[in-house]
Amino acid sequence: MGTPRLVIGFLLLVVCCLFTRGPATNNKKAITNPRFNMSTEAERKIQKQVFGRTTDGTPVDLYTLTNAHGLEAKVMTYGGIVLSLNVPDRTGKFDDVVLGFDRLDEYLKNASYFGALIGRYANRIAKGKFALDGREYRLAQNDGENHLHGGVKGFHRVVWRAQIVRGKNGAGLNLTYLSKDGEEGYPGNLFVSVTYTLTTTDELRIDYSATTDKATIVNLTHHSYFNLAGAGAGDILAHEVTINADRFTPVDKTLIPTGEQRNVKRTPMDFTQPTAIGARIGEQDEQLLVGKGYDHNWVLNKSGASLSFAARVYEPRSGRVMDVHTTEPGLQFYSGNFLDGSIRGKQGKVYYLRYGFCLEAQHFPDSPNKMNFPSVVLHTGRKYTQTTIYKFSTR
């Protein structure tokens, strides 16, 4: 008697699943209802495997996302790290364009933030302190006297909960993490959700959101080191960069912004026209000297928090192009100045000085202490959101 019911139930479920596939407008439903979020389409395009365990024994999984054009991203639950990103060159040959390691234990030891999700506060906070609602908060001083990338563990050394979802235009991996009140010195229980989608239009799309139960500060970003000629293939000096910004935030010798928003005109910071990273990086410019190269925040030309064009990178040998769009007001362009040949990455390849670059969409560094910078305060009942898209093509 139970068997026909079971069969009918199963058929109903299959029909339901068929009708709920399709437009991205179903996305909300897909995320909230576990029965629907593993669409057969998403299941086919995302594969899960066990990757290892952290030192305290927490299991870490690795997910492989692929799209219809064969692009492939591997993301793990530890640090929400993108381990590899395979995209074609102009002849159709695929290469992995992000720096990283083959094994989990190498990630556990390394401090370079390769491919990681960064929070609660990406970039630096001067002297590791800030005030909010009349109270002073103290954070880890893990970069000289300053606080960097959320602290010692931040979000890059924690294990996220993963769920396969139907993201915007493709199969997505949703990662969530509850950062407890007081963790790394920050106030409020912060619930963070990040979805990586490898879209049908060859984008790695990252949608972030966060809510809190006490006023706090939030500034999330993604920290892939790109090399569009292939990870470990050489330095990034020939890559041509365009940044949609007329101003940048100059820094002091500890890389904390002075508060000024300076025009890029007639400085080596002018990337308003496509310019090779190496064209001016060796100039005796005061800002390049303190940064040991590019390690600065650009003030993107935009008004409001719309998703808009931030940067383009073109690698002449492979013909690969990467476009960055973001809802964020700033973009940290870091030219891999701390890479020094001491790291042996994937397939044993050594990462020397400037073998990778980062484009970290974010709020400006040290915003909690700079009243003239856009606010990074998140209040209760409000939702932090940010979207950044890295889109790949060739020419």
Closest CA to 262 of 245, 241, 282, 284: 245
Cα–Cα dist 203/74, whole Å: 14
| 380 within 8 A of 213, measured Cβ to Cβ | yes
Residues lying near ligand GLA in the complex (CB under 6 A): 112-113, 123, 148, 255, 295, 332, 334, 338, 358, 360
Which H helix or E strand runs over 308?
strand 308-315
Q: Is 360 a catalytic residue?
A: yes
Active site residue 145: no
Angle at the Cα of 387 from the Cα atoms of 292 and 379, rounded to 5 degrees: 95
- How far, in Å, CA of 59 to CA of 186, rounded? 26
Q: Which is nearer to ligand GLA, 30 or 376 (CB)?
A: 376
Q: Which is nearer to ligand GLA, 113 or 355 (CB)?
A: 113
Q: Six-digit token pair at 251?
A: 């820094």
Nearest to 296 by CA among 264, 342, 344: 264
Q: How far is the CB of 241 from ligand GLA (least distance, A)?
A: 15
Q: Are 176 and 161 in contact (CB under 8 A)?
A: yes
For ligand GLA, which is the closer residue by CB, 47 or 254? 254
Measured distance CA(228)–CA(50) in Å, rounded: 28
Residue 376: CB minimum distance to ligand GLA, A: 16
Among 156, 223, 239, 325, the one annotated catalytic = 223
Task: Tell me the chain's radius of gyration from C-alpha atoms.
Answer: 21
Hey, what amino acid is at 166?
A: R
For tokens 């439903």, the residue is 29
Task: Fill in the amino acid letter for 285.
Answer: D
196 pairs with which residues across the strands?
173, 206
Which residue has 């606080």 as its token pair? 147
The smaller minimum CB distance to ligand GLA, of residues 123 and 327, is found at 123
Q: How far is the CB of 333 from ligand GLA (least distance, A)?
A: 9
Cβ distance to ligand GLA smaller for residue 174 or 332: 332
Closest to ligand GLA by CB, 43 vs 340, is 340
Minimum separation from the CB atom of position 279 to ligand GLA (A):
20
Q: Which is the catalytic residue, given 149, 156, 360, 363?
A: 360
> Least distance (Å) from ligand GLA to the CB of residue 360?
6
Place of tokens 């931030």: 310
3-state DSSP assignment of residue 147: strand
Contact 296, 260 (CB under 8 A): no
CB of 315 to ligand GLA, least distance (A): 20
Residues marked active site are found at: 223, 360
